[in-house]
Amino acid sequence: MKTKPLTTLPAWKALTRHSQTIKRRHLRELFAQDKRRGERFTAEGAGLFLDYSKNRISAETVRLLRQLAKETDLRNKVAAMFRGEKINVTENRAVLHVALRAPRNAVIRVDGKNVVREVHAVLNKMASFANRVRSGKWKGHTGRRIRNVINIGIGGSDLGPVMAYEALRHYSDRSLTFRFISNVDGADFVEATRDLDPAETLFIISSKTFTTLETMTNAHSARAWLLRAFRGDAKAVARHFVAVSTNAEKVAEFGIDRANMFGFWDWVGGRYSMNSAIGLSTMIAIGPAHFRALLAGAHEMDEHFRTAPLEKNLPALLGLLTVWNTNFLGAETVAVLPYENYLKRFPAYLQQLTMESNGKHVTRDGQPVNYATGPIFWGEPGTNGQHSFYQLIHQGTRLIPCDFIAFAHPLTPLGRHHDLLLANVFAQAEALAFGKTVTEVKAEGVPAALVPHKVFSGNRPSNIILADKLTPTALGKLVALYEHSVFVQGAVWNIDSFDQWGVELGKVLAQRIVPELESRSAPKLKHDSSTNHLIYRYRSMKRKR
Ligand code: F6P
C-alpha cells in the first residue's frame, strides 16, 4: 500500500502554518503567559524526567505533533517492531533489539521461532565466560590469568561497548584493563597493545558480519602479535581469542573455536547491538548482574515506549520535538550535552545511532523525500563544551537545539563539585531560553559600542533529561530512550531507519584503490584526475622514506 506523501498530510500542513505563529513568539513571552509552563511541559517515564518546556512550542504544537504521529501511524509502526515484523524493508529483516532485553518468559517470534529463548541462552553463556575471566579461572596459554581485555570492532561493534565501558567504569573491575581497537590506522593497534603482556591479554573480535575490513585487519594483527610472543604456537589462539558474531563460518575460518563464539542474529542492527553479545566486554568489566541491570533498564524504557500515551511518552516526545525543530524551525543539528563525565563517549555513540539510522534521502518505498531527515548529532560533556563551542549556540546565527543530560547524585561525590556542575546545566538552559535583552545590558552600564556584543537573543530550544544516578539501569534507559526517539523520527519521515547503504560506496572504492597503492609497478589509473593525482603523489612520497 502506498503511503500518502508526508508533506500532504493535514497535520504536516497545519504544523507548517502553525510554525509561522511560533516563529514570531519568544520563550520569554511563552513563559510569562503561563506561570506553570515549567511543570506543564514535562514528562516522567521509566524513572527519567524530561523537561521540554524550553522548546519553542505551545500546547497547540504538541497537539499537532500528536496528530502527526497519528497520521503517520506511529502506534502501529511501534507495534509492528515489537511483534518482530520485517520493518527493515530493504534488508527484509525484523528489528528486534527490544528482544535482547526482554525477560526470560517473554515470547517474541521471528519466522515462527521464539527468539527470547536464544537470547537468554547466549546471555547465560556470556555470564559464565565473564565470570571465569573475572575470577581468574580462565587462563591464558601460559597458565597466567587474563588482566587485559581488548575489544576489536568498529561502528556498532565498538561505539556501544566503548561508551558503556566509560559510562559504567565506576562499576567495573579495576584490576582488569580494557582497551578498544577500531581504526584501521595501525596507530590504534600499536598504542592499545604497546604496554600489554600477550600472556595476560584476551581479544574479543566483535563483528556482526566478520568481514569488516578494519576489524579483520586488526584481528589478524592481533593474532600475529600474540603468536610472536608464543613462537608461532597456534594453540595459543584458543585461550586468547573469542569472537562475537552472526557469522559462525567466518569465525571458524579465522581459527576461533566455535565454543568460544558468542552469537547474535540478523535482526539486531549493528548500532542497536550493545545489549547483545557485542556487550561481552561490558559484561566482563561490570559483571553479569550489572549487565542484566542494564538490560532491565532498557526493557523498562521499551515498555514505557510501547504503552505510555503519546503526551507522556518520553521517546515519542523527544522524537517528535526533533521533527518539529528540524522540519518546522529549520534546525540542522542536535547537540547532546551530558553533565556527567562518565558519559563522555555518549555523543559519539549517538552519532552512529542517529545518523546511520536517519541519514536517508528516500522513503521506505524509494521515493525521494522533499523534507529534511536526520539532523546532525554531536556534543561533548559539560562543562567542557561551555568553554569551547557554546559561544556559537548562545550567540551564533544558527538554531541548535540542545539535549542536556544530568543526574541528581554523582557517582564520585567530591566537595561542592556536583552542585557546581548542576548549577551550570540549569544556567545554560536558562541562558539559552531567555537570553539577555538590550535593556538589561544597558542597565548594567555597558558602553554603547559593546551593547550589541553583550546581548543574548535567547529563544534557543533545549531539553533537560534528569535522572537520579548513572547506574547500569539508568544507562539502559537512556540508550533505549534515544533508540526509540530515532524510531519515532524515522516513522514520521517514512524512512528505513535500520539499513545503512550509504556506507557501501566508500568501502567498494577503497578495495579498488588498495592494490593501486601496493603494486610494485605503476598502476594504470582510471579514476578522476584528482584521485589519480593523489594516488601517484602518495606512491612517490612513499618511496622517499
Ligand atoms: O558502518 C557500517 C557498519 O555496517 C555498521 O552498521 C556496523 O555497526 C559496522 O559497520 C560494523 O560492522 P560489523 O559488526 O559487521 O563488523
Q: How far is the CA of 211 from the centre of ligand 1 (A)?
A: 9
Calculate the CA dihedral of residues 311, 316, 322, 328 and round it to 10 degrees. Answer: -50
Q: Cα(510)–Cα(359) distance, rounded to whole angstroms?
A: 22
Q: How far is the CA of 307 from the centre of ligand 1 (A)?
A: 31
Annotated active-site residue 85? The verdict is: no
Q: Per residue in 88-114, pLDDT tens?
A: 999 999 999 999 999 999 999 999 999
Grid coordinates of 48: 527519567
The Cβ-side half-sphere exposure at 358, using a 13 Å CA radius, reads 30
Best of 159, 184, 209, 212 for a ligand 1 pocket test (most atoms within 8 Å of beta carbon): 212
* Amino acid present at 488: V
Q: How far is the CA of 186 from the centre of ligand 1 (A)?
A: 19
Q: Nearest CA to 339 among 286, 280, 289, 384? A: 384
Q: State the DSSP H helix or E strand holding residue 403, giving kind and residue range, or none if neither.
A: strand 402-409
* Amino acid present at 416: R
Beta strands at 261-263 and 201-206: parallel, antiparallel or unpaired: unpaired
Grid coordinates of 442: 544597558
Q: Per residue in 516-541, pLDDT tens?
A: 999 999 999 999 999 999 999 999 99
Provide the strand spans (E) within 154-266: 177-181, 201-206, 241-245, 261-263
Q: Spot the catalytic one: 113, 137, 507, 542.
A: 507
Residue 175 burial by Cβ neighbours in a 10 Å radius (0-12, 13-18, 19+):
exposed
Q: How far is CA 274 from CA 100, 158, 216, 270, 280, in A?
A: 9, 9, 20, 8, 9
Q: Spot the catalytic one: 356, 380, 483, 516.
A: 356
- Does the predicted TM-score (pTM) go above 0.85? yes
Q: How far apart are the first and last CA of the chain?
A: 62
Q: How far is the CA of 158 from the centre of ligand 1 (A)?
A: 9
Annotated active-site residue 13? The verdict is: no
* One pLDDT digit (tens) per residue for the chain, 545 residues: 568 999 999 999 999 999 999 999 999 999 999 999 999 999 999 999 999 999 999 999 999 999 999 999 999 999 999 999 999 999 999 999 999 999 999 999 999 999 999 999 999 999 999 999 999 999 999 999 999 999 999 999 999 999 999 999 999 999 999 999 999 999 999 999 999 999 999 999 999 999 999 999 999 999 999 999 999 999 999 999 999 999 999 999 999 998 999 999 999 999 999 999 999 999 999 999 999 999 999 999 999 999 999 999 999 999 999 999 999 999 999 999 999 999 999 999 999 999 999 999 999 999 999 999 999 999 999 999 999 999 999 999 999 999 999 999 999 999 999 999 999 999 999 999 999 999 999 999 999 999 999 999 999 999 999 999 999 999 999 999 999 999 999 999 999 999 999 999 999 999 999 999 999 999 999 999 999 999 999 999 999 87
- Please name the residue whose Cα sits nearest to atom 6 of ligand 1: 270
Q: How far is CA 344 from CA 278, 337, 512, in A?
A: 20, 9, 36
Specify the pLDDT at position 3.
82
